[in-house]
Amino acid sequence: MAFIIAGLLASFVAWVINRHVFSNVGQKGVVFFGPTVEEILKTGLAVIFNTSIILTHVIFGLIEAVVDYKNTKKSIGAVVSFISHVFLGIITYSLFILSGSIYVALLIAVIVHISWNKFVMSIVAAK
């Protein structure tokens, strides 16, 4: 149950911060700063609440998918958003287990998330 609270809290705080960043810095801020904030929030709150890193990412991804669908009415974008956050949760948890360091896991998850956002934005920009 704690993973639900952690995921919801991470979603809300990320939404507030990302809105502020987007309005002040623009899309580049969301592409680069957003993933850092989101990964720290998802994983950090899972650790603080002593709950599942993966399931916290699942809840976050579900919330983001609902918001994406509400804003764009595109179900494929919502599904991709959900799957990407689940995948990031699996990466983070796996790297934490393999390395024994939450910091190493977070750093790599942030790099993967930034790379993913850059890739997605390059597709969107090309359309």
What is the reported pLDDT for 1? 93
Alpha carbons 52 and 33: distance in angstroms, whole number = 24
pLDDT tens, N- to C-terminus, the chain (127 residues): 999 999 999 999 999 998 898 888 877 787 889 999 999 999 999 999 999 999 999 999 999 999 989 988 878 888 999 999 999 999 999 999 999 999 999 999 999 999 999 998 888 777 6
- Domain hosting residue 64, numbered range: 2-126
Cβ pair 9, 28 in contact under 8 A: no
What is the reported pLDDT for 29? 80
Alpha helix (H) residue ranges in 26-127: 27-48, 53-72, 75-99, 102-126
What is the reported pLDDT for 28? 79
What is the reported pLDDT for 25? 84
Residue burial 36-59, b: 16+ Cβ < 10 Å; e: rest:
bbbbbbbbbbbeebebbbbbbbbb
- Tally of structural domains, the chain: 1
What is the reported pLDDT for 127? 66
What is the reported pLDDT for 3? 97
What is the reported pLDDT for 53? 98
